[in-house]
Structure 1
Amino acid sequence: MRHGAVEGMQDMSEVVERWGSRRAFIIAVTGAAVGLGNIWRFPWMTGENGGAAFLMLYVVFLVLLGLPVMIAEIMIGRAGRRTPIQALTHLARDAGKSRHWGWLGLFCGVTLFFILSFYSVVSGWSIEYLVDALSGHFASQSPQEIGSAFDAFLASPGRVLFNHTLFLFLTMSVVALGVGGGLERLNNLLMPLLYLLLVLLVGYAFTTSGFTAALAWLFMPDLSALTPMAIFNAMGHAFFTLAVGAGALMTYGAYMPDDQSLPRAVVTVAILDVAVALMAGIAIFSIVFSQNMAPDSGPGLMFVTLPIAFADLPGGALWLGAFFVLLLLATWTSSINLAEPMVAMLGSLGMARWLAAVLIGVGVWLMGLPSALSFSIWSDVRPFGDMTLFDLATTLPIDIMLPIGGLLIAFFAAWVMEGTRASMAIGAGERFYRHWRAVVRWVSIPLLVVVLVGFFLS
């Protein structure tokens, strides 16, 4: 983008689209937040970092880091009522600051692009495993065969690419329909279904012998399990799980109803987000413990450990299928909400929504090829030591770009924006604004610096 492009966007009109109701906004933001981080990443990170001790840290950092920066990002969008590039440029100009803050919006868009590229690949795995689970494919296999089947699937470029393509098609088809006709309608349908599935799975977990052990693992902290790495992981996950730092929430803030309480909405989203992670953890660890399996099996917990655990349980194929339906729903709603800001940015340049959705979809598909093929024909490509292309595709946006984006968003909201305008956009009174700004300035921003420094030193 040329130097003049960002400057030229500053005078563009406010966005026209709005969420149809306050409930629709909460469901949409929850849809953006709930995804792989809750169903896939939280259980295996909890399993590898001490169970309840990790959960305790995660909740603390959610309050001190995730929520304040989440308010900052949505507030910028609400105050600017434009796409991220336009909103940041517009608000910086009004505060008498450099228009170059608009480049932060572009950085956020690039971050979303990278996230969605690997997100689509991993989400495609859930399609493959959903079909296998419902067909009873795992019931007749030994643990060794189930583990080998996952490796064989990843090593098959055709199967991985097919599911990657199918998932992206499902995602961009909805985004092309717009906020009211696509996102809001699907969010209103799928998010309640997701919670219903979770409740059913927790109910099933209650009948297993591992339910009590799972509750103890998640809610009785062993402080001796805390390590410096567990602390850094909890800080990073508290940030990642709320979809903060990539501009998606800034875009949704621009669509936010005028009469909605921002702090109340954010707290509601955080509660719903944590509830999904906890219910998924209870269901998963109940099954794992009922089969006397270890909880610390890492990223393979969902795709190897669970199929093995369910293989010997009554009705295991049906309930395993329900898990992968849950994972597919969570990743589908999340990816749709991740794609929307990128399509909106192209739309602000006068491009038709359907064309913007096609271009973003094709671009993301191409960017996802290294992740999709890093387990097969590009398995020997390791740009940094033992790091595969998939490792690079996940590490760069999650561990580096998201914290940088969040740090700059927090700095802009707490130090650059004009205070009166920020307070009005939050809509909770001057006293709340002063407390929030103090937390962001002296707690959240330093914690984000620690997250970044800790990553590069680890």
Structure 2
Amino acid sequence: MSEVVERWGSRRAFIIAVTGAAVGLGNIWRFPWMTGENGGAAFLLLYVVFLALLGLPVMVAEIMIGRAGRRTPMQALTFLARDVGKSRHWGLLGLFGGITLFFILSFYSVVSGWSIEYLVEAFTGGFASRTPQEIGSAFENFLASPGLVLLNHSIFLFLTMAVVASGVGSGLERLNNLLMPLLYLLLILLVGYAFTTSGFTTALSWLFKPNMSALTLTAIFNAMGHAFFTLAVGAGALMAYGAYMPDDQSLPRAVITVAVLDVAVALLAGIAIFSIVFSQGMDPASGPGLMFVTLPIAFADLPGGALWLGCFFVLLLLATWTSSINLAEPMVAMLGSAGLTRPLGALIIGVGVWLMGLPSALSFSIWSDVRLFNDMTLFDLATTLPIDIMLPIGGLLIAVFSVWVVAPPRAMEAIGAGERFYRVWRAVVRWISIPLLILVLLGFFLMK
């Protein structure tokens, strides 16, 4: 179990990489959809609270474990447990995280493939001459076409694994440095465009004036799951990145920077999307199809709508591409620790994820009649299981390991912010994050 050799080239590269893992479908697809269905600003407020009390402390814990162990997630957990005479079976938590990432990437690739199809449609003007009914029907027809959905799923997954196969320095770091600034630029341009629409002030009110009566138990569970999903916490991905972290970097400062950038992307995406929705008098609670049905309808009637809609789907594709690359990396690294070359590991993971994505891809067509657990479709199950169940469970176990297993001197050194910060962080994880995670998980299972 030797230490990893690769390192991020700079502190900036680490922050960009972790932000790349965090920023993706959670910010641009799931956040507007969840916010629209759960009361706007009330959901946002709850999401920020969970981010502060759960997401950030567990994020520090996960990166700290990777940095202290300087190994792949399974190896780091085993090494740190043995260091204090604890069971080597803690290493299985790394395997659980890898399985979680595997499930997430399987539906992630399918949904991201939709953005490829819509990117082409937007720039070729495919939505311009269609009525709202035709646009809505086009999305349904696309989902009901297994060949098209599988083609886009395959293209997206190939793009992802090709970069991962190139390695940390020549693959992940280079692409993150190129695409993340471009993503922010496109997002700022879209918000600038949203500012010129009549729905801009309504969108701001919707997002920043909480109506607490809109909060429900479902909204609470959704907000917690989203706080983990959007930060990529609970599955070991950040543990792998912590192993590559430069020695002279402040972990708390890096985590806060990533969290601020992550929330900023979600808010800017929300402002851009809801400004367009409200300017056209449409319903923000349109569910998962908000981005693929409501937005094309809204943009179709606006000046230069085809161009701006195309820019939006470029933004979505860039965000999901960088995020999926960063989600796949820990799985390939695990196979690398077992002696496989990086290209072979990327091929094995890619084929496995493609196969696991078939239920999600075909749940709108060939397997549309299949229902499981509370009448859930295969796609519903593929998104609910890893996000609302596996990520929080993984986060809970990571939190327990970080404060009750890792030796305090080693943890304090890996966090690198002094004894006072370490004591405050440890108290928050022990007496706030862990109990809150247990309560919310129990509530989720009791409701289901």
Q: TM-score, normalised by structure 2?
A: 0.99
Structure 2 CA distance for aligned equivalents of residues 240 and 173 of structure 1: 24
2:397: which partner in 1? Answer: 408
Q: Does 1:129 align with 2:118?
A: yes
Q: Does 1:110 align with 2:102?
A: no
Shift of 1:238: 1.3
1:206: which partner in 2? Answer: 195
The amino acid of 1:108's aligned partner reads G
> Which one of 337, 340, 347 corresponds to residue 326 of structure 2?
337
> Which one of 358, 366, 380 corresponds to residue 369 of structure 1?
358
Of stretches 387-396 and 20-29 in structure 1, the one that deviates more from structure 2 is: 387-396
2:367: which partner in 1? Answer: 378
> Which one of 250, 261, 264 corresponds to residue 253 of structure 2?
264
Q: Which deviations, in whole Å up to 9, do the C-alpha atoms of 1:112-170 show, x marking residues without a partner? A: 11110110000000000010111111111111111111110000000000000000000
Q: Which deviations, in whole Å up to 9, do the C-alpha atoms of 1:209-232 show, x marking residues without a partner? A: 000101111111122222222222
Shift of 1:251: 0.1
Structure 1 CA distance for aligned equivalents of residues 335 and 113 of structure 2: 26
Structure 1 CA distance for aligned equivalents of residues 13 and 440 of structure 2: 32
8 Å contact 1:236–1:451 — kept in the other structure?
no
- How many pairs were matched up? 447
1:420: which partner in 2? Answer: 409
Q: Which deviations, in whole Å up to 9, do the C-alpha atoms of 1:389-424 show, x marking residues without a partner? A: 111111111111111111100000011111111011
8 Å contact 1:70–1:266 — kept in the other structure?
yes
1:27: which partner in 2? Answer: 16
Shift of 1:242: 0.3
Structure 1 CA distance for aligned equivalents of residues 371 and 211 of structure 2: 37
Q: Does 1:152 align with 2:132?
A: no
Structure 1 CA distance for aligned equivalents of residues 398 and 273 of structure 2: 35
Q: Which runs of 4+ in 1 moved over 6 A?
A: none
Shift of 1:378: 1.1
Shift of 1:450: 2.2
SS in 1 for 2:303: coil
Structure 2 CA distance for aligned equivalents of residues 414 and 70 of structure 1: 13
**1:51/1:385 CA distance change after superposition, 3 Å:** closer
2:46: which partner in 1? Answer: 57
Structure 1 CA distance for aligned equivalents of residues 173 and 391 of structure 2: 25
Structure 2 CA distance for aligned equivalents of residues 232 and 282 of structure 1: 23
8 Å contact 2:6–2:168 — kept in the other structure?
yes
Structure 2 CA distance for aligned equivalents of residues 318 and 381 of structure 1: 38
Q: Which deviations, in whole Å up to 9, do the C-alpha atoms of 1:415-439 show, x marking residues without a partner? A: 1111111011000001110110000
Structure 1 CA distance for aligned equivalents of residues 288 and 325 of structure 2: 23
Q: Does 1:80 align with 2:69?
A: yes
Q: Which deviations, in whole Å up to 9, do the C-alpha atoms of 1:22-50 show, x marking residues without a partner? A: 00000000000001000000001111111
1:288: which partner in 2? Answer: 277
Structure 2 CA distance for aligned equivalents of residues 329 and 110 of structure 1: 24
Q: Does 1:238 align with 2:227?
A: yes
8 Å contact 1:89–1:100 — kept in the other structure?
yes
1:196: which partner in 2? Answer: 185
8 Å contact 2:222–2:388 — kept in the other structure?
no
> Which one of 164, 167, 174 corresponds to residue 175 of structure 1?
164
RMSD after superposition: 0.8
Structure 2 CA distance for aligned equivalents of residues 370 and 14 of structure 1: 38
8 Å contact 1:83–1:254 — kept in the other structure?
yes
2:436: which partner in 1? Answer: 447
Shift of 1:449: 1.2
Structure 2 CA distance for aligned equivalents of residues 254 and 308 of structure 1: 45
1:164: which partner in 2? Answer: 153
Structure 2 CA distance for aligned equivalents of residues 230 and 385 of structure 1: 18
2:173: which partner in 1? Answer: 184
8 Å contact 1:310–1:316 — kept in the other structure?
yes
Of stretches 157-166 and 214-223 in structure 1, the one that deviates more from structure 2 is: 214-223
> Which one of 117, 121, 127 corresponds to residue 138 of structure 1?
127
Q: Which deviations, in whole Å up to 9, do the C-alpha atoms of 1:66-86 show, x marking residues without a partner? A: 000000000000000000000
1:6: which partner in 2? Answer: none
8 Å contact 2:226–2:387 — kept in the other structure?
no
Q: TM-score, normalised by structure 1?
A: 0.97
Shift of 1:385: 4.0
Structure 2 CA distance for aligned equivalents of residues 250 and 68 of structure 1: 14
The amino acid of 2:45's aligned partner reads M
Shift of 1:383: 2.7
Of stretches 182-191 and 41-50 in structure 1, the one that deviates more from structure 2 is: 41-50
- The percent of aligned pairs where both chains have the same amino acid is 86
Runs of 5+ in structure 1 lacking a partner?
A: 1-11
Structure 1 CA distance for aligned equivalents of residues 19 and 61 of structure 2: 16
